[in-house]
Structure 1
């Protein structure tokens, strides 16, 4: 994803598009150096530049940016502690579960997500209207843009509940759009992802796996099914992923976050060569007390000493008699040539498949997929006999140990299991309504059709 003239030109187009479609209508002359929407999608190279801009937005500030959902929801639940008592960023309130509708961090999360959605819609409309691109390229570009939009909407639905679901760039529609129920959003996402899967191939268009393919779409589809508790639908989709010859389970923990791993389904490449992943910077502190995030005692206590993940993916920091642990999955903070930010990896498909089997009382089938990550971590395998509830609890625990600080897994898992209220034991301010964030006040003022506000705020 080197920065090309086409990419820069498309950013000009995107900026102009957002001025037209995100805010009220204003009269603006088109910049002389701008490429028009129609021309962007007449040529494969410029259309791909549009996709590059969209992936760049995912890296910069989106639910799957390395310093966003993983960090925010890790602190919001019980995987991270935050050591700033007060701040204008709104982060202390998220950690303390005292967020309000004016929280600037929540406002940014919402706004940046919808910028991604608008950009995806711009691409989808451009692909729909073009008459010059080969059908194969139209299918690929449409499929990837649909998946990006669906992924961002999935996170918004999980965090905010009922949300607006814009499917166009028409500002007249978008400035007054109402909310779609959370259940209906999931149904719309299911349909969109199924269409995207039909348009994409399993083959990666780049060996670094930095662009979405059919298998990434299948994993997202399985996550949607599981959110709906449709275990029977999720099972064959996940089986198709874990049996694919594209993927090889990485049995060396020290290589899990290496960009060349064959266990990676999809990852985001830093925008500039040599840049560290955002995760490598977000959680780092050394030889000093943490000034932002550290792994919580609650998380540390679920690991036994012999768990190799504690040795490989955490770093102990001791200052005097005080000890903290930081997330240390991504190691390279300067001159990075070996790490990209992993969004989807095969281990997630394994644990989700184990969950689908367990939910259908197929305990014996679940255990191999649960035990894969345990054995890699140097732990003993879970054996039969074991009850359905016990194996589900083991899967939840294994997911926590495997995916801490990654893409909000802890929040999504607890929500799917229906156990968010158990956070009250370690989070004194937690209330039932905290299963959702408030819709930003700014958005409600701009568009009263987004009322009512989420319960409790």
Structure 2
């Protein structure tokens, strides 16, 4: 694969710098002030620096970066309207559900994910081959890298279906990899996430929770169980999370996106002190028409006027007689000292648990986990006088109102619950094969083993 054919891994003063090229494995002479890749994993401090480099890349350019899956998949479904124009209209084509295999945004999504997977594989190989790292540190570093790789593969699988699943940095192997079937990808993710959870501990290695722990891996594992319709397995894992003393439900709607919350499982720290999150700038417009994204009227219509999420997580913008709503979950675009980009929070575990319970028809157990976010938003609690199908619909709706513009939630939730085709009523160009995107044409041209192209493209 193109993004696997060259790697240049060097650390200067414990800072990881990686370059990935397209032709062959570079052999470079290591300057006197630099250390080799092998040396990186002979010392805990430099190994942690390599891992920190991966986290920095995840924040800057990956499916979980604040300006990637959230806006792209939000507009691909029905949460966002897109007003962006580019020379190729790649973003707008995705919004109109008219993406093709040469779409540059799709290519960028694919390549950024696989570049970061390559780095995760390099870290995994490095710690496995290390004889100097203490076993506890080796397990932790491998567990974190394995979890990061799994999250990236999860997004690639959900968006592209059958995908290559490289687990090595050997470019000669990676450049001729064929696709792994969707079902086998899910099985591999289950295995990898179980391994990551076993390698990690519940303890956070930073009080700001900018590095994931065992519970983060378990949350991802629960998502895989739900894809496999293993409802009871998902229930057991999710109950372990929601009952953990590590976490507390945040009852104040105005504090949900503050970095100090005990409801946060994992969050990404902005690059520089004082930087706002990517979400804060991606969705911002004021005193003008939107030139990027605005919340769709279809989304707005699902909120009652008393819903505190509408009052606190959205902002009304009027200009030239027109009115739009912008996402306003993250408030600080500059001089930011209170917000990081939240990847996973306890509310997701609540609603996933509710889904696992309702699928088993354990209806009385479902209500507390749905009502938690409803009541925090100022809505009345649901009562026991409801059916399985109605509760499942309510859970899907509550996910939408709770997680709009976060990490592509709407797309992932609709796909998991087999409801993507309901978008046809609000997205005129929606087709059933739009449950996946086309594989990027440049990758297929480089590696014929990626054929055939996804259906419909």
TM-score range, shorter chain: over 0.9
1:253 paired residue number? 253
How many angstroms apart in 1 are the aligned matches of 2:396 and 2:30?
Answer: 53
| Residues 9 and 35, structure 1, Cα contact 8 Å, conserved in 2 | no
- Counterpart of 1:11 (choices 12, 16, 21) is 16
How far did 1:88 drift?
Answer: 2.0
How far apart are residue 25 of structure 1 and its match?
A: 4.3
> Helix, strand or coil for the counterpart of 1:11?
strand
Deviations 1:219-265 (Å, cap 9, x if unpaired)?
Answer: 00001111222111100000000000000100001000000000000
In structure 2, distance between residues paired with 1:303 and 1:25: 53
For residues 188 and 255 of structure 2, what CA distance do their matches in structure 1 show? 37
Aligned-partner Cα distance in 2 for 1:341–1:93: 27
2:237 is aligned with 1:232: no
C-alpha distance in 2 between matches for 1:323 and 1:235:
42
Tell whether the 8 Å contact from 2:219 to 2:237 is kept in structure 1 after alignment.
yes
The Cα offsets for residues 46-95 of structure 1, whole Å up to 9 and x where unpaired, read as: 00001000001100100100000011000000000011356425101000
Whether 2:361 is the aligned partner of 1:352: answer no
Pairing of 1:393-404 with structure 2 (within 5 A): 393-404=393-404
Deviations along 1:251-305, one digit per CA (max 9) or x if unpaired, are: 0010000000000000000011111100000000001111110000000000000
In structure 2, do the counterparts of structure 1 residues 33 and 9 end up closer, same or farther at CA, with 3 Å as the change threshold? Answer: farther
What aligned pairs does 1:338-377 form with structure 2 within 5 A after superposition? 338-377=338-377
What SS does structure 2 have at the residue aligned with 1:218? Answer: helix
* 3-state SS, counterpart of residue 284 of structure 1: coil
Distance 1:92 1:7, change over 3 A: farther
Partners of 1:7 and 1:233 lie apart in 2 by 45
Alignment of 1:217-228 (within 5 A): 217-228=217-228
Range with greater deviation from structure 2 (116-125 or 25-34): 25-34
Q: Which residue in the other structure is 1:293 paired with? A: 293
1:65 aligned residue: 65
Q: CA deviation at 1:33?
A: 4.3
Count of residue pairs the alignment pairs up = 448
Deviates more, 1:80-89 or 1:439-448: 80-89
Q: Aligned residue for 1:92?
A: 92
Q: Does 1:414 align with 2:414?
A: yes
Determine if contact 1:280/1:329 at 8 Å carries over to the other structure: yes
Q: Distance in 1 between matches of 2:11 and 2:86?
A: 43
- Long gaps (5+) in structure 2: 1-9
Whether the 8 Å CA contact 1:200–1:213 is kept in 2: the answer is: yes
Cα RMSD, aligned residues only:
1.3
**TM-score (normalizing by structure 1):** 0.96
| C-alpha distance in structure 2 between counterparts of 1:10 and 1:445, whole Å | 35
Once the two structures are TM-superposed, the CA of residue 30 in structure 1 deviates from its matched residue by 4.2
Tell me by how many angstroms 1:34 deviates. 3.6
Matched, 1:110 2:110: yes
Contact kept, 8 Å, 2:75 with 2:94, in 1: the verdict is yes
Contact persistence 1:24–1:175 (CA under 8 A): no
- Alignment partners' CA distance in 1, 2:89 and 2:23: 24
How high is the TM-score relative to the length of structure 2? 0.96
Task: Identify if the C-alpha distance between structure 1 residues 452 and 335 changes in structure 2 by more than 3 Å, giving closer, same or farther.
Answer: same
Equivalent positions of 1:38-437 (< 5 A) are 38-84=38-84, 87-88=87-88, 90-437=90-437
Mapped contact 1:7–1:53 kept (Cα < 8 A): no
**Is the Cα contact below 8 Å between 2:234 and 2:356 reproduced in 1?**
yes
In the alignment, the residues of structure 1 paired with residue 334 and residue 85 of structure 2 have an alpha-carbon distance, to the nearest angstrom, of 30
Cα deviation code 1:161-215 (max 9, x no counterpart): 0000000000100111111001101110110110111111101000000001000
